[in-house]
Amino acid sequence: MRPCHFYAKNKGKEGFKCEYEQMEYPMYVRSDKAFLLDNTYCNKYCPKLADCVRLADETFRQMRKVNVVINRFADGKISVIRRDEFCVPERIINDKVDRSRLFLKVNGNLLIPRKKKATPAYLSRNKYRAGRRAKDVFFGYVLSNTWTYFFTFTFSPRLVAHRQDSTFTNLLWQRFQDKFKHFDKNLMVANVPEDHKDGAQHFHAFITTTEPLPIVDFGDISKLPQRTCKGGPDKGKTGFCTFTPEGEFTIKPDVPYKWYLVPYYNYGELQRDSLGSILFCLNKYPYGINSCAILPGDNTNQITVSNYLAKYLTKQSNLGYNKKRFMHTRNLQNKTKTTLFLTDDEFKVFCEQNGLNLTEETERFSVFRNYGTPLG
């Protein structure tokens, strides 16, 4: 048996008491001093371990091996990733890792290194890992709640002068969301910012309301203001458009509702999303064009949501250093994540008990779910 490293570090310090003094002291006397200080062994089950670690001004990490990651969503869905074994921290005492920022951001986008390891390669790797973590957390929120609408909100150059400034557009978004909450105090929102090629920001948002949003038709659109397209793929088309070229509503129906949806027309044609659903527009958004797809209210809701995630959100690149990747209201449910080490037989029993089927397989990992289409 080896002597305890923290006993050797703290022996003789004021206030130090060891639960295993009678066992440790003889080894302490017999052992070489240099060996004692380099020795990493410790009694991790000692009730005084945390006190000893802090008194020695060191960090203790207890790791465990796992090979299964289990994600349990709030609606009963389970997604399991099985891969080669890896280690995760089970217990950390007196964590002294420097978590301050590696770079100082000045003038909006200029990064100045603050530490020796703040290299371009490290920055790229850091942003990539942060993006993966953010996407995992965002999926947890989105797939643990049932959604009514999928919106895209843009910022018109005529209405928003600084639409490339994310700090400014985030402020405008927060103002709009506060007004929406005034209409519906139980509003649920999960949204992701995305940059256009010119740097202008827009938002993709899942929204659920408890207050109804009526759909109001324009009536006979042939009697409404007509516009002819002067360029692009729709060149020469003439018809009613829901929005002006500046991003404002062409006309709003005279109805007794404060918040409502209208069909999204472009040169006389109803607009549809990539899944074929008719698009609508929210009357109260003041900063540019918005579009809304109504999500199904049955058990296909989460499948449809996953399709939107795949199209709009998995393409999302990193938006910059120390920049928010998503936002959400605080009333959302989230998934729970656990990690285990299971043998082949134990994993087979676990899958049978939870109704899990293989849905995805690569060289590095396999995914098992109790929803979705099984492989094979």
- Indicate the residue among 15, 30, 58 that finishes a domain: 58
pLDDT in tens, 161-196: 888 788 888 899 999 999 999 999 999 999 888 877
Q: What would the mean pLDDT of 343-372 be, rounded to a whole number?
A: 93
145 and 258 co-located in one domain: yes
| pTM of the predicted structure, to 2 decimals | 0.81
283 and 164 co-located in one domain: yes
pLDDT in tens, 16-32: 999 899 998 988 888 88
220 and 321 co-located in one domain: yes
Does residue 303 carry a pLDDT above 80? no
Report residue 313's pLDDT band, with 50, 70 and 90 as the boundaries: low
Q: How many CA atoms are closer than 13 Å to the CA of 206, on its beta-carbon side?
A: 28
- Indicate the residue among 310, 328, 346 that finishes a domain: 328
Tokens of 118: 């703040």
In a domain, 247, yes or no: yes
Residues belonging to the chain: 376
Distance between CA atoms of residues 258 and 250, nearest Å: 17
Nearest to 355 by CA among 333, 328, 374, 376: 374
In a domain, 115, yes or no: no
Amino acid 330 reads R
pLDDT in tens, 224-258: 999 999 888 888 899 999 999 999 999 999 999 99
- Indicate the residue among 328, 354, 369 that finishes a domain: 328
In a domain, 123, yes or no: no
171 and 31 co-located in one domain: no
314 and 186 co-located in one domain: yes
Domain that holds residue 32: 5-58
In a domain, 98, yes or no: no
Q: Are the CB atoms for 150 and 204 separated by under 8 Å?
A: yes
43 and 158 co-located in one domain: no
* Residues 6+ away with beta carbon under 8 Å from 122: 102
Torsion of CA 116, 118, 119, 123, to 10 degrees: 160
Distance from the Cα of residue 185 to its chain's centroid: 23
- Judged by DSSP in three states, 349 sits in helix
37 and 177 co-located in one domain: no
Q: What would the mean pLDDT of 315-332 be, rounded to a whole number?
A: 74
> What Å distances lie between residue 287 and 231, 303, 328, CA to CA?
24, 31, 20
Q: How many CA atoms are closer than 13 Å to the CA of 158, on its beta-carbon side?
A: 9
* Residues 6+ away with beta carbon under 8 Å from 205: 150, 151, 152, 153, 189, 190, 191, 192
| Residue 298 exposed, middle or buried by CB count within 10 Å (0-12, 13-18, 19+) | exposed
Distance between CA atoms of residues 124 and 118, nearest Å: 10
146 and 264 co-located in one domain: yes
CATH number (domain holding residue 171):
3.30.70.1910
Nearest to 203 by CA among 333, 329, 327, 310: 327
Q: Where are the beta strands (DSSP E) in the chain?
A: 60-72, 78-93, 103-106, 110-113, 149-153, 188-195, 201-208, 226-228, 238-240, 261-263, 265-266, 269-270, 279-282, 290-294, 327-328, 336-340, 357-361, 365-369
Report residue 310's pLDDT band, with 50, 70 and 90 as the boundaries: low
Does residue 318 carry a pLDDT above 50? no
Distance between CA atoms of residues 58 and 9, nearest Å: 10
172 and 39 co-located in one domain: no
Q: Are the CB atoms for 135 and 325 separated by under 8 Å?
A: yes
Structural domains of the chain, count: 2
13 and 149 co-located in one domain: no
